[in-house]
Amino acid sequence: MNIAEITPGSYVHAVFLVASVEVREARTGNRFLRMTRRDRAGATIDAVLFQVSEAQIAAVRAGQPYEVEGRADEFRNRVNIKIDRLEPSGETWDASEYLPRSTRSAEALTGSIRDAIESIESPELKDVLRAVIADPLVAERLPQWPAAKTRHHAWIGGLAEHTVEMLQIADRVARVYPQLDRDLLLAGVVLHDLGKLEELDLQASIVYTDAGNLEGHMVQGVRILDRALAATGCDGEIATLLRHLVLSHQGLLEFAAVTEPMLPEAIALHYIDQLSSQVRPAIEDVAAARERGVRGAMMRGPTAMRELYVRAED
Amino acid sequence: MNIAEITPGSYVHAVFLVASVEVREARTGNRFLRMTRRDRAGATIDAVLFQVSEAQIAAVRAGQPYEVEGRADEFRNRVNIKIDRLEPSGETWDASEYLPRSTRSAEALTGSIRDAIESIESPELKDVLRAVIADPLVAERLPQWPAAKTRHHAWIGGLAEHTVEMLQIADRVARVYPQLDRDLLLAGVVLHDLGKLEELDLQASIVYTDAGNLEGHMVQGVRILDRALAATGCDGEIATLLRHLVLSHQGLLEFAAVTEPMLPEAIALHYIDQLSSQVRPAIEDVAAARERGVRGAMMRGPTAMRELYVRAED
Amino acid sequence: MNIAEITPGSYVHAVFLVASVEVREARTGNRFLRMTRRDRAGATIDAVLFQVSEAQIAAVRAGQPYEVEGRADEFRNRVNIKIDRLEPSGETWDASEYLPRSTRSAEALTGSIRDAIESIESPELKDVLRAVIADPLVAERLPQWPAAKTRHHAWIGGLAEHTVEMLQIADRVARVYPQLDRDLLLAGVVLHDLGKLEELDLQASIVYTDAGNLEGHMVQGVRILDRALAATGCDGEIATLLRHLVLSHQGLLEFAAVTEPMLPEAIALHYIDQLSSQVRPAIEDVAAARERGVRGAMMRGPTAMRELYVRAED
Amino acid sequence: MNIAEITPGSYVHAVFLVASVEVREARTGNRFLRMTRRDRAGATIDAVLFQVSEAQIAAVRAGQPYEVEGRADEFRNRVNIKIDRLEPSGETWDASEYLPRSTRSAEALTGSIRDAIESIESPELKDVLRAVIADPLVAERLPQWPAAKTRHHAWIGGLAEHTVEMLQIADRVARVYPQLDRDLLLAGVVLHDLGKLEELDLQASIVYTDAGNLEGHMVQGVRILDRALAATGCDGEIATLLRHLVLSHQGLLEFAAVTEPMLPEAIALHYIDQLSSQVRPAIEDVAAARERGVRGAMMRGPTAMRELYVRAED
Amino acid sequence: MNIAEITPGSYVHAVFLVASVEVREARTGNRFLRMTRRDRAGATIDAVLFQVSEAQIAAVRAGQPYEVEGRADEFRNRVNIKIDRLEPSGETWDASEYLPRSTRSAEALTGSIRDAIESIESPELKDVLRAVIADPLVAERLPQWPAAKTRHHAWIGGLAEHTVEMLQIADRVARVYPQLDRDLLLAGVVLHDLGKLEELDLQASIVYTDAGNLEGHMVQGVRILDRALAATGCDGEIATLLRHLVLSHQGLLEFAAVTEPMLPEAIALHYIDQLSSQVRPAIEDVAAARERGVRGAMMRGPTAMRELYVRAED
Amino acid sequence: MNIAEITPGSYVHAVFLVASVEVREARTGNRFLRMTRRDRAGATIDAVLFQVSEAQIAAVRAGQPYEVEGRADEFRNRVNIKIDRLEPSGETWDASEYLPRSTRSAEALTGSIRDAIESIESPELKDVLRAVIADPLVAERLPQWPAAKTRHHAWIGGLAEHTVEMLQIADRVARVYPQLDRDLLLAGVVLHDLGKLEELDLQASIVYTDAGNLEGHMVQGVRILDRALAATGCDGEIATLLRHLVLSHQGLLEFAAVTEPMLPEAIALHYIDQLSSQVRPAIEDVAAARERGVRGAMMRGPTAMRELYVRAED
């Protein structure tokens, strides 16, 4: 049973994911659970469970599938479910089935990253990056991880796609400015957001991990890098520079950079990152608006979080 | 006689440019002129003229050559000149002889810009840009104008060089994001800083014009654009978008943008501009430091106005 | 049929303006239109049109009157209309009939502006301002245009009223500081917000035009000024100063000024503008609160967007 | 002996004020005093006293006249004095003899303030202001006090002159906006900066008092007001509003306002204060530059602390 | 009748406090009152009164008990009351019965403050603080007043509890840094927030007084201090320093400090205040979340207004 | 030969440290070295070496002792040395001989830190901290390292002293708020600044290391912590919390915190750090001023970088 089929009054019996869950307290002092549930098609519906026990509160976890029985109701033109029975389901759900995903294949994207690494001339740097890419966490997650929770490339494969876009621009920037160390710049692009593999998790939706909140992806990214540096015996200045590229890529302290960029390559990395992470969501927002028929009008870009103008003429 | 030849105590008789001039008042209430003078080799020396008349104060203008007679003195390890006689010189000085200049020829740079314009597909847009480039002010000044007073590409030919760097990056960005309107993006790159042709003047050094201070190069750039739009009969949405690209290229109001970018192409333009205007000075600062023998050390980049690290190893 | 007469359940057949319109997508993937409609008395009501075709989406434009048939419903204590039939109406609606308007007549306000212009001593400046005021766009719109969308003087005739308030204060400021160039200050007051005539449009409500969003009223105001300068052959320093007054009147870059004020008259203009645009909405907010019976209490001024205290005693 | 007469090498024996004094420590560990001294003509000269005893360090106070014996020397084109003997002088110096002063007489200025107070209609408010003006501190200091240390109206009589300028503008503002309580606005103008009478002191130069630094003139001004309120038995809402006008006149917390303006009259007061305190120094800076012969040039206004343009034509 | 007993459809007849009240205008132009009402158990419920007269609008005041008759309705899962009859009640309500209160007794808390005062060594300072604590306003309100409206220690007795926490920390800080004047630091702690006794009022809920909004608690606190200084004849430097401690305790102008701390003791006071006012609400928020069963999760702390992490393990 | 003995004209032959060195270019294009040199008493003197070879430029490094021969000169009342001969010296210099140092012994300070660690109740946490303190880098450097370059506790032993001050305050804070996890708070204090051991180096003066500039002490501190976590097998939530304490102790992103504090203990840690790092330099600055005889005056605290008031009375 899909959520799209539910209409007010209908009896509901299905397995849904808990996308989010909150404990609320009614005016009477009784607690109830307020959840958002998701089906495999990606549609969501609100649900409430009254007369909930302490055990149930402890048992219901976001990101897990549960069997649900109840009745659909309508509130503010939105259908919701009053749940009568709620039990953990034995089913295994794969987030990759119902989250949006890149239009480019994981193989193509990781292949492009691998090609860029092979184009690095310094044997030492190439070794480090090969080790990074072979790190079990990276090998498993990079093909499917998103680059952010909502802001940009927030889809399956988004991190690899963001990285590939940046590699293509970085390649040109290194040609325009031959004084830049192309090897270092490309290494910076590959490394800069790898901490997202630990900062974010793929559950029913893209979520921050607790360690991601408490440490941040730049520190987590340096830990991944440090493993590769140790594995390849790389240290000294070049190791410090690689860490600096990761730690400074957000550009300014108030944008959460750990240090500000102090190498020409680090400055370039920051702006190449901005190009990809600011232009792409604006492109997506405008395309979605045009799809809805918007023409010749201002709109608030929901992903870019900017005012955007949708052209009247093509 | 070149400034490098002047030693304390020597008699000076030469024609120098007045690079800057200030009226000062001594404790006794007498006024005197404090000038910086420049020779054709680009070297500068301070000079003072005591017992100055109102007429002389009115007559001495920065950017003009004057015949000078006086004696060299030393103060704080710097040689200066106490002027006895100062008269306007009949010589004509050409700033392009003694200001630093791009390593690429004006012909090559403007040729690249012309090629980019010819690669635009929209006939209407191509016409506008051809008209812009044929505008007498643009035709005369673009080959030699700097892009800024001190911050980046502050040399003869700097504006064209900055534009060409951006065109090369923009070309790649348009390929990475085929949803972008390449024509519009390239037009934005060509147009974005043309107002600098009025905002800055080439005298003994690069200076802001009064109109540049009072209006700003974005408004001046729109005026140049408006002439080309009128000449080609282009108006409507496309004219507004071109103006928007010029007015928004500084990105944020606090960076002096007149409006913030509201088109994907305007966002891309802003970050491509940042790439060129932030990376290039960092490259130059590091190269100059290495030239002085600096290795493995932090330094304050005098042009980039950032802390920069000069690598120990190559 | 007026909106005030509609009650839940009643059948509706009337001509209403579309004040705003959005395309929404239901959970089922079907699109529908969500509109706010306005009658001639200024009252508004929400309306929804389900099963909408692409043609209808493209045809419904804010600011136009449409004939509507449907049934009134109630949701959250608000009546709305479920539309069955929607067709463009042949009626012509005049925004000036149902938007709030200044308590002073358009003739009196524009007369005061004309008097101020005639009091200017410099013949050159007086000619420029006469040309500005005779510009067809200005002549047609100034008598009725508002000064802003919501923040201050946001009513028919508001721009002229704001200008007159400022002229009265500027006249006194010029007397208190005889060193100020009164002609220049008064010219600045008349010119400073004329770009609002292009930045804003009078439709069902006051709206920003696309060109207003993409260029901003200061650049648009300079274009109006430039026409008058060309018509009267005025150029040189005085033309630059007039442009500067327009471009700097918002005072600080972060308040969207294009340049910061660099003339005593420009500084005065900025603070006189602040006086009118900050004091007037506070006066209006307090008066409206007192009208509602508020006394001796703090309130959030909805127009002034400040905390305001309404006095207990008169 | 005046400072203007001192030339390098000359023997100096005169009574000078100590305008400022610092204890410095030489590389050898010996302490010395570095002073700026002022004569009655307002000229200043640096002076050093080596081999200074603890007793002398404790005895030398800024703002007091001392008899000085020593020899003039030259350093960086500035004459200074190496002091051999330094003793307190029995002379009494009156700051008003050598500090700059308003071009308008103290009588005329305080007369204008008194007239404004008499024009207040509310008997209660008029009584409070009469009591304020009769307060011994106010009566003694208002005729001669400056409005600031350096920023604006920093001369003898400057506070009264600033107040009178504001009263003239406030009178007009109250006419333009008859909804404002003219009595309250005028009272606010008279009261707003009275705390400067305690925050600043007139010594050899205008200085901040310690209490001024530690409490600030707004709190000090409220204390003066509170005395008048107590004397006239005024309390309740009107007393709170008067305090609010004083405490909020700087407009924003980051400009050191104690609270932000919450009355239309308080908002008006803030901008009228800005008009006087921002426009007047710009006028003075431009006038001083023109006096020095500057025309058609940008300059940094030393008092206004802004970039200012000095016009080429009159 | 308690609010918890009201269910949709039930007839309501009870005495409730008006916690807040707003005048609203219906689309028809009719006014109605929208109120939040509170019972003695602290529960709240919304209520509406339609067809309200001007007299009723003027008569209904927040913080007063009214007898209410009407019928309960449901809207968005919340029960509200449509009032038929509303009359002032003769009952006297004591806020202290239904607002949250400190877990420590008023006697214990004020006793600790008194002990701290007695531990002060300087007789002069001890006298001032004894006079402060004996001030009728302080004596009456300190035992029960909250420290803030919502941000921290926002309960009955909260101000005394906040003060005692700070005294305990200050005592240690004075030991760690024996160079600090312990007497002055402790005096600063006792005095710093006493203005809250006038800034806040205890009605149905904790509210800002009008004078509190218009003057701020720092200025009000200095007035309380000034009474004690006058009573004990204390003035001179020590009086100024005490005022400075009160006026500077918020640390930075943008945090509403009247002056920034200029004494080591004032700097210490600011950070001790931060410790208590930032750490305590975070502790409370985490405890409340754990109470609701939250473990191993991020949450928005409703009082601390920060993101907080609730640990998984104890 | 000590620097204090050098007088203008004297012949100099001694071994001095190079405290800092710059390559400068004379107007003639010749390069010269400008150095600050330091003797064992901590005194400094400027020195210049003209006609310098590329080899010498490369050979001279800050922080190393060199044998110097030359002649003393005077410039701006400062003695400097024109160097004739400069050679590396075989001497070994120990920074700890001539830098300022804590008044408390290294043994006492590290003993207090050890005691605090032993007072931790959780065996797991105690093990981690014992491992941290036994880490070779920590064991070697903690007894002597400074806490900062200039801002606070910038002396030998300063880091340990800063830590001990904070431990004493934290101990009290944990008692005032028993809900805080005392173990975690104390661990945070010990760990928070350990990265300074790598960020700073003790050479002729306290300097930032290149890795310190490029990575920052918070990331470096986490690396030290990670070694101890690995050594003791501690991971999971507690490891993440310890890293969070280190990464968030600077409180706000704009103060360079890597993440903002999300635990009550992290918030407490931040303010305890502020107490020690802000109060201590103010105490030192005021004490130094009193030592110089300053009384009853405002001053700019050179270390605290704040305006400070030095009391007139004790």
pLDDT in tens, F120-167: 999 999 999 999 999 999 999 999 999 999 889 999 999 999 999 999
Beta carbons of A172 and A189 less than 8 angstroms apart: no
Smallest CA–CA distance from B286 into chain A, residue: A264
Per mean pLDDT, which range of A115-129, B12-26, E142-156 is the poorest?
Answer: B12-26
Q: Quote the minimal CA–CA distance from D34 to chain C in Å.
A: 38
Q: Do chains C and F touch (3 or more CB pairs under 8 A)?
A: no
Q: What percent of chain E has pLDDT over 70?
A: 96
Nearest-by-CA chain F residue for B307: F213
Across residues B184-195, what is the average pLDDT?
98
- Chain E segment 239-278 residues within 8 A of D by beta carbon are 240-241, 243-244, 247, 253-254, 256, 258-259, 262
Bridge partners, residue B300, by sequence: B307
On chain B, the residues whose CB falls within 8 A of the CB of C241 are 214
Residue among F29, F57, F213 whose CB faces B293 most closely: F57
Predicted TM-score (pTM) of the model is 0.88
What tokens appear for B157 in the block?
Answer: 């030919």
Tens digit of each residue's pLDDT (9 = 90 or more) over D245-278: 999 999 988 788 999 999 999 999 999 999 999 9
Mean pLDDT score, D186-190: 98
The pLDDT score that the predictor gives to residue E184 is: 98
CB atoms F309 and E262 under 8 Å = yes
Instruction: State how far residue B31 is from chain A, nearest Cα, in angstroms.
Output: 46
What was the pLDDT predicted at D159? 98
Distance from CA of F292 to the nearest CA of D (A): 7
Chain A's closest residue to C59, CA to CA, is A293
State how beta strands C44-49 and C31-38 pair.
antiparallel
Q: What is the pLDDT of residue A109?
A: 98
Neighbour-count burial of D103, counting CB atoms closer than 10 A to its CB (0-12 exposed, 13-18 middle, 19+ buried): exposed
Q: E259-293, pLDDT tens digit by residue?
A: 999 999 999 999 999 999 999 999 999 999 898 78
> In the structure, what pLDDT confidence band is assigned to residue D55 with cuts at 50, 70 and 90?
confident
What pLDDT is recorded for position A94? 74
| Average pLDDT value for residue range B53-62 | 75
% of chain A at pLDDT higher than 90: 59
Residues of F in contact with A253 (CB under 8 A): 253-254, 256
pLDDT for B76 beyond 60: no
What is the pLDDT, as a whole number, of residue E174?
98
Confidence check: pLDDT of A28 > 60:
no
Whether C237 and chain A come into contact, CB under 8 Å, resolves to no
Tokens of F281: 């330099």
pLDDT of B201 over the 70 cut:
yes
Structure tokens at D116: 């404004």
% chain D with pLDDT above 90 = 59
Q: Mean of the pLDDT values across residues F291-305?
A: 87
CA-CA distance, F314 to F290, in Å (whole number)?
Answer: 10
Which residue in chain C has the smallest CA separation from B223? C223
* Mean pLDDT estimate for chain B: 90
Are E214 and D243 within 8 A, CB to CB? yes
Q: If you average pLDDT over residues E167-191, what whole number do you get?
A: 98
- Across the range B282-296, mean pLDDT stands at 90
Task: Write down the pLDDT at residue C100.
Answer: 86
* Per-residue model confidence (pLDDT) at position A37: 82
Minimum distance, in Å, between the CA of residue E196 and any CA atom of chain C: 18
What is the reported pLDDT for B173? 98
Average pLDDT over residues E37-62: 79
Contact exists between D and F (3 or more beta carbon pairs < 8 Å):
yes
Is the pLDDT reported for residue B27 higher than 70? no
- What CA–CA distances, in Å, run from F134 to B208, C21, F127, F185, F223? 61, 69, 10, 20, 15
Say yes or no for a CB contact (<8 Å) between E213 and C307. yes
Contact B173 A169 (CB under 8 A): yes
| Coil vs helix vs strand at B66 | strand
pLDDT band at B166 (very low <50, low <70, confident <90, very high): very high
- Give residue C27's pLDDT: 53
Q: Subunits with at least 3 CB pairs below 8 A relative to chain E? A: A, C, D, F
> Which of A 64-93 lie inside 8 A of E, CB atoms?
75-76
Q: What percent of chain A has pLDDT over 70?
A: 95
Mutation for C interface: A298, A306, A307, most C CBs within 10 A: A298
Confidence (pLDDT) at D80: 84
Please judge whether E298 and A76 are an interchain contact, meaning their C-beta atoms are less than 8 angstroms apart: no
Alpha-carbon distance D200 to nearest alpha carbon in chain E (angstroms)? 15
**From the list F43, F79, F292, which residue is nearest D23 (CB)?**
F292
pLDDT in tens, chain C (314 residues): 788 788 878 888 988 888 778 777 665 556 788 888 878 777 788 888 887 877 777 778 777 888 889 988 876 556 788 888 888 887 877 777 778 889 999 999 999 999 999 999 999 999 999 999 999 999 999 999 999 998 899 999 999 999 999 999 999 999 999 999 999 999 999 999 999 999 999 876 788 999 999 999 999 999 999 999 999 999 999 999 999 999 999 998 878 899 999 999 999 999 999 999 999 999 999 999 898 788 898 988 889 999 999 999 76
Which 3 state secondary structure label does DSSP give D229? Answer: helix
Q: Cβ of F296 and D23 within 8 Å? A: no
- F233 at the E interface (CB within 8 A)? no
Domain covering F3-96 in this structure, CATH number: 2.40.50.140
Chain D residue with Cα closest to B55: D293
Q: Does F291 touch chain B (CB under 8 A)?
A: no
| Mean pLDDT for chain D overall | 90
Q: Which pLDDT belongs to residue A198?
A: 96
- Residues of chain B with Cβ-Cβ distance to A240 below 8 Å are none
**Looking at CA atoms only, how far is residue B48 from chain D in angstroms?**
12
pLDDT number for residue F141 = 97
Determine the Cα–Cα distance for residues B251 and B255; give it in Å rounded to an integer. 7
On the question of pLDDT at D217 being above 80, the answer is yes
Give the per-residue SS3 of chain A: CCHHHCCCCCEEEEEEEEEEEEEEECCCCCEEEEEEEECCCCCEEEEEECCCCHHHHHHCCCCCEEEEEEEEEEECCEEEEEEEEEEECCCCCCHHHCCCECCCCHHHHHHHHHHHHHCCCCHHHHHHHHHHHHCHHHHHHCCCCCCCCCCCCCCECHHHHHHHHHHHHHHHHHHHCCCCCHHHHHHHHHHCCCCHHHHEEECCCEEECHHHHHHCHHHHHHHHHHHHHHHHCCCCHHHHHHHHHHHHCCCCHHHCCCCCCCCHHHHHHHHHHHHHHHHHHHHHHHHHHHHCCCCCEEEECCCCCCEEEECCCC
Asked if the Cβ–Cβ distance from D298 to B208 is below 8 Å, we say yes
Taking the Cβ of residue E139 and every Cβ of chain D, the question of whether any pair is shorter than 8 Å is answered with no
CB contact under 8 A, C219 and B258: yes
pLDDT digits (tens, 9 = 90+) for A217-235: 999 999 999 999 999 999 9
Chains interfacing with B (3 or more CB pairs < 8 Å): A, C, D, F
Q: Taking a contact as any Cβ pair under 8 Å apart, which residues of chain E between 38 and 57 contact chain C?
A: 54, 57
Dihedral sign from CA coordinates of A244, A246, A250, A255: negative
Average pLDDT over residues A157-163: 98
What is the rounded distance in angstroms from the CA atom of residue D284 to the CA atom of residue C177?
11
Tell me the CA end-to-end span of chain C in Å, nearest whole number.
42
Per-residue pLDDT band for E250 (boundaries 50, 70, 90) equals very high
- Which chain F residues contact residue E173 at CB under 8 A? 169, 275, 279
The whole-number pLDDT of residue B29 equals: 58
pLDDT of residue F75: 61
Judged by a CB distance cut-off of 8 A, whether residue E230 touches chain D is no
The pLDDT confidence band at residue E77, using thresholds 50, 70 and 90, is low
Is the CB of F283 inside 8 Å of chain E's CB atoms?
yes
Q: Which of A213, A241, A254 has the CB atom closest to F253's CB atom?
A: A254
Taking CA atoms, what residue in D is nearest to C180?
Answer: D283
Q: Do chains E and C touch (3 or more CB pairs under 8 A)?
A: yes
Q: Which residue has the higher pLDDT, B190 or E36?
A: B190
Domain ranges of chain C: 3-96, 101-280
Q: Which chains touch D (3 or more CB pairs under 8 A)?
A: B, C, E, F
Indicate the burial class of D16 (C-beta count within 10 angstroms; 0-12, 13-18, 19 or more): buried
Higher pLDDT, D296 or B95: D296
Indicate the SS3 state at residue E147.
coil
- Chain C residues close to D268, C-beta within 8 Å: 275, 279
Question: Nearest-CA neighbor of E57 among E18, E104, E27?
Answer: E18
Distance, CA of A41 to CA of E200 (rounded, Å):
54
